[in-house]
Amino acid sequence: MKQLFFFLGMISLISCGGPKAFYDYDEKMDFEQCQNFSYYSDLKSGLSELDEERLVRSLSKSLMDEGYQQSENSDFRINFYAEFYEEHNNNTIGVGVGSGGGVVRGGISGGIPIGGTKQFISLTIEFTNALNDELFWQAVVESKFNKELSPQKREEAFLDIAKKALENFPPEK
């Protein structure tokens, strides 16, 4: 029984990981040229205005912590957009009834669903060259995201997402 609880505990720890990020970039880009950033003025992010401001603050803080400067005369511009989706929990508890005695054999089994749906955000962050507007770096971050979080918890969630997205910027060649 102890082994079962240990196994279930390990599965829950593994499955409860934080944000996951996927990256892509232009190998020809000289990332040394990227020192100053700005945001597109016409963002259509799919986020509420308040969440959009939270994400801008989080991205700006994370970039400035790494030595980049926010400037009107920028080397690169940032665009981002989000999609929200839900996943149904496919975990079930199995229930079975059976008979094995005598000649008559039979059984019934079924699954009782546990848990409910989980809410996720898929956030795409794009960096484009300010001179020619060409995309040179992109991160897609997927994370659990409860839309009913308090403003402070939302700020923390967006900061975690921003940090995860920027783990690979600039990319190591």
The half-sphere exposure of 100 on its side-chain side, counting CA atoms within 13 A, is 2
Summarised one tens digit per residue, pLDDT across range 107-133 is: 566 666 666 788 999 999 999 999 999
Q: Which domains does the chain have, with CATH numbers?
A: 24-89+111-168 (3.30.160.670)
Amino acid at 6: F
Summarised one tens digit per residue, pLDDT across range 130-163 is: 999 999 999 999 999 988 999 999 999 999 999 9
| Sheet (strand 69-70) strand order | 20-25, 135-144, 117-129, 76-88, 36-39, 69-70
Average pLDDT for the chain: 84
Say which residue, 162 or 99, is predicted with more confidence.
162
Instruction: Check if the beta carbon of residue 166 is closer than 8 Å to that of residue 149.
Output: no
